[in-house]
Amino acid sequence: MSQYAVVNPATGEVVEEFPTATDEQITDALARSHNAYATWSTTPVEERTAILSKVAQIYSDRAEELAEIIKLEMGKAVPEGKGEVALSSMIYQYFADNAAEFISEEKLKGPKDGEAYLLRKPVGSLLGIMPWNFPYYQVARFAAPNLALGNTIILKHAPQCPRSAQVMEEIFAEAGLPADAYINVYATNEQVADIILPDPRNQGVSLTGSERAGSAVAAEAGKNLKKVVLELGGSDPYVVLDSEDVAATAKTLFQARMGNTGQACNSPKRMIVMDDIYDEFVEKITESAKKFTPADPLAEDSQLSPLSSKAAQERFMEQVEATVADGATLLAGGKAYEGEGSFVEPVVLTDVQKGKRGYYEELFGPAFMIFRVSSDEEAVELANDTPFGLGSAVFSKDMSRAEKVAEQLQAGMVFVNGPEQSREYLPFGGVKRSGVGRELGPLAMDEFCNKQLYYKNS
């Protein structure tokens, strides 16, 4: 089977295969992207953003079709797929609407014998390495701001998302993007390391993926003096200090964790709950977990979609089993469903032991790890005791109490009295081993940008 293939995770069926690029095709893509930059970077921003606006409309018009594609590629339920397509459309429209303002010249205070300005200019051809869990959204986060700025893009998608990768390139062409300003390549990891990153025509790389992948790409980029943006793993804490309605709070957090079958970097992977409401909270989460059963992700009432692949299923189950073997209490789930599909039962774990694998690793699937604490100080200490620092949330009916805890969290994103959100206008990114750089919002266009000083003497 080809490295790039659509394998339906609900059935294990190989639906379609795509040929991996040759070294010559990769070298050709670098030349084409570099040459396209000369024209695209000098295209007026109004023309660039008009094309992004058309991209946004095409996503909206083709939502059903696009959702069907990723259902087959990585098992996302069609209603969730439509939601991802809608968010992607909003991202393209956001940068279409705001790019001109974001790159407008900024006059600097200070000079007495002249004028100083900060100009924001593109840098060249960029490489994007994107994951399978949000095939359209992850690409939009990278592509929209950089195309608006005037950079050109070579995109290497996850091997299990070749059809959506191809369709995105087709949508850009349909919207009027000049040839070679965005190029999809079915590249190998070796071609990235040996051909693309060492090439001087490449000016940087953005990767969303695992710690291991991020570390490997960052090492190669650093060796070649290339700028990187990395959005890596997360073990996001949700701290529940108190609640007027514990069942409602548990439902909110349950739904947040089950989004995309738990396969999201900024999913609430650790629930830290105050002692006086802990038992009721655990009971409600466990009840909800036991109700979920597998379903065709096509169904509008789909409850439980498969994990993205058999490999993902096997890794998730191995992590759960190791965590239980290390002393955790298993209250629900713990089994993979039989058959060719990659379904797993939602898992509820308590008493996860500090210093053990499950305590520090990211469980990428429908797993609820719930911790009991007896003070705000203990909650903060536990929340920050992780190598990750992507997102977080704090819940309390006392806003001042919630804010005091939130201010102490070591994370790139903090939400109070609501689950984390991914929105086109909210900067997305983390600290510690969750990565470097920011995507979305007004910060996104500053990452691969020449922030050029322009000084004029009087």
Q: Cβ-count burial of 427 within 10 angstroms (0-12 exposed, 13-18 middle, 19+ buried)?
A: middle
pTM of the model: 0.96
- How far apart CA 403 and CA 443 sit, in angstroms, is 24
DSSP assigned state of 336 = B
- From first CA to last CA, the distance across the chain in angstroms is 67
Catalytic, 231? Answer yes
**303 close to 292: Cβ distance less than 8 angstroms:** yes
Residues with Cβ within 8 Å of 44's Cβ and at least 6 positions away in sequence, in order, are: none
> In this structure, what token pair is assigned to residue 114?
């002249």
Q: Which of 80, 231, 361, 447 does the annotation list as catalytic? A: 231
Residue 380's contacts (CB-CB under 8 Å, 6 or more residues apart) are 239, 405, 408, 409
Q: Structural domain boundaries of the chain?
A: 4-232+434-456, 236-416
Q: Which residues pair with 153 in a beta bridge?
A: 126, 182
- Burial label, 396 (beta-carbon count in 10 A; 0-12, 13-18, 19+): buried
Burial class for 95, CB neighbours closer than 10 Å (0-12, 13-18, 19+):
buried
> Domain 4-232+434-456 - what CATH class?
alpha beta
- Rounded to 5 degrees, φ, ψ at 269 are -85, -20
Dist. CA 324–CA 320, nearest whole Å: 6
Could you list the beta-strand ranges (E) of 338-443: 347-350, 367-373, 393-395, 415-416, 435-436
In terms of CATH, what superfamily is 236-416? Aldehyde Dehydrogenase; Chain A, domain 2 (3.40.309.10)
In which residue are the tokens 């804490």 written? 237
Q: In the annotation, is 439 catalytic?
A: no
Each residue's pLDDT, cut to its tens digit, for the chain (458 residues) gives: 579 999 999 999 999 999 999 999 999 999 999 999 999 999 999 999 999 999 999 999 999 999 999 999 999 999 999 999 999 999 999 999 999 999 999 999 999 889 999 999 999 999 999 999 999 999 999 999 999 999 999 999 999 999 999 999 999 999 999 999 999 999 999 999 999 999 999 999 999 999 999 999 999 999 999 999 999 989 999 999 999 999 999 999 999 999 999 999 999 999 999 999 999 999 999 999 998 877 655 555 556 889 999 999 999 999 999 999 999 999 999 889 888 889 999 999 999 999 888 899 999 999 999 999 999 999 999 999 999 999 999 999 999 999 999 999 999 999 999 999 999 999 999 999 999 999 999 999 999 999 999 999 97
Q: Which of 169, 265, 361, 362 is catalytic?
A: 265
Secondary structure (3-state) at 32: helix
